[in-house]
Structure 1
Amino acid sequence: MYRALRPLIFALDAERAHRVTIAGLKLLPRRAPSFDPILSSDVAGLTFPSPVGLAAGFDKDGEVPDAMLSLGFGFVEVGTVTPLPQAGNPGPRLFRLVEDRAVINRMGFNGGGQAAALARLAQRPRHGIVGVNIGANKDAADRIADYAQGVRIMAPVADYLTINISSPNTPGLRTLQAGGELAELLDAVRSARSRNGPPVFLKVAPDLDSGDHDRIMRAAIDHGIDALIVANTTVSRPPLASGHAVESGGLSGRPLKALALAQLRLFRAASGGAIPLIAAGGIEDADDAFARVRAGASLIQLYTALVYEGPGLARRIATGLAERLRRSEFANIAEAVGSE
């Protein structure tokens, strides 16, 4: 059905199509998905029924997490949520690169802010795993304080929290990945965490230099970060066919696949398996998912591929991943992690 509807959806500009999609998902009946038991695993103290998750950026304000769980995602990450509402960057700011099966965005953490997301998420029944991705306002006087506030405010409604310092669309944000600033940020995050609060993940960029992986990994382990998400969108530009290739912003989708997989392997080598890794970037099918698991990912996240493949993608990948695990004679997905 999605293939028949896609030309109509693509006739709309990308951001308007996204808002129409969110509105439609609010009407979707809620149903509890079933998953093959071979896909279940424990990561950071949480039991994930499937490793196939929805990446942040799709449901920025926590409007449809339960609808996305109903579509077959094992977990959903909402956000990025900032302390105060902000409009984000001027439009147009979201572009489909159809020929490349990719997207470029320069949204800039647009959203309704923490108070609105908190109220919305507090009203939902607590079932399924829903994480909250937190960020800083563009004009914040103290961005580290924004992250600490996000940890304190959003913890009661989150099964996990993600510290997003890897978006390329807020000027200067990625500098928080540098040595001294990263340590200061993670110190503040650790201080803001409650003893019984949810696990905290760190989302990193794919555009890193030699030595960054060991440094970031050491900082994450030293400060009690529970998992790393590898990786966000890239500012690099591999060869692209679309006329939108010249647009600034973060590139996601198929062209990011090789870079994201390479970064995952580097972080796996840096960690030696000491901290769980979550793979994102260019994952389109079960083969991609299985490759990330074997390269060291305990979980995976999708977003851009949904634009091209439609809402049934999570279920298809989960089914295909279970088939590949059995063909490879793994008893469960945890056995396959890092097995390449």
Structure 2
Amino acid sequence: MATLSSSLRSRGARIALIAVVAIVLLAAPLFMPAIANLTLVRVGVYAVAVLGLNIVMGYAGQVNLGQIFFVGLGAYVTAYGVKQGWNILIVLIAACVIAGIVGLLVALAAARLGGLAIAMVTIALPIVGVPLAKRLDTFTGGSQGISAIFSTAPDWSGLFNDQWQYYIILVVAAAGFLLARALVRGKYGRAFAVVKDNEAVAASMGISPYWTKVLAFTIASVYGGASGFLYLAAVQYTSPETLSFGHSISLLAAMVIGGAGSIVGSLIGGAYYVFVPQFTNAIDPNFTTVSQGVILLAVLFLLPEGLVSLPRVLRRPTRRKPARAAPAGTPPSSAASPDPAPQNPAPASTERHDPS
């Protein structure tokens, strides 16, 4: 009964916390300045990109160094759809589906590879993507890039543009995080974990490592496309620089620092991607790359599981070690300790009495 009561209290506290967080997120843009709203918008954009990377790397254990390619692809598809006058919901679906199809084609070829080979395949994506975006200037605007404005607040909303953009990113990002949580907690998440730990064991359990990797990579690509849609909603402009390989490495660092294999860690990684460069640039722009490298090394050495593990690490010294259980069959301490040596009894008399 006590256990049930404790469980209900814990569940009630969790629901109350979620409700408070939801209210804060919904009310925040109405009271914050525009610059704060735009900063949170960027956090949401990159948190979705890091989340996709976390699914394929953190949960499925497959190397992907080209996630930024799918972010850029989603941004270009979004810009093209807006220019063609498509419905905004159709644009979002197109960005996700086209990025997912390209990711599927890459995964079908790359999932059979491992280690350095698959790393080189994914590295090639942004390296090829930048010149390709410059060449296809009819669709991409070439080196000058392309702009598309579709996140202007409608008159009926009574909101400013930054507030409207915030709510667009909030709705899409929240849906993405909820879907990812359901995914990693279900049968596919268990399949990802088994394949990540040991592919031979996964095969013996009837789980195909190849198709599991293909699925994880494709899902990550879809999240990249969604992030590209959000990127254009926030920035309203994209160029070949969006697909730069340096951005892909920054996404990877953000995932590691936030926490690989963690939904919350993806959100922390998105915040890191936005806030840390701003902080380091304010100190000294010349040492931005060096300082970020130092931060990455410090987190890897001190918190190998990322910043998401910090509360658990801080609680660890305060936990009392449980009492050591006695081995089976050991008598109680009072019986186990030997009795004190008995006093010597009085020696029996050896004197012989006369029967008379």
**TM-score for the superposition, normalised by structure 1:** 0.27
Larger gyration radius, structure 1 or structure 2 = 2
* Structure with more contact order per residue of length (Cα contacts < 8 Å, sep ≥ 6): 2
Between Structure 1 and Structure 2, the one with more helix by share is: 2
Between Structure 1 and Structure 2, the one with more strand by share is: 1
**TM-score for the superposition, normalised by structure 2:** 0.26
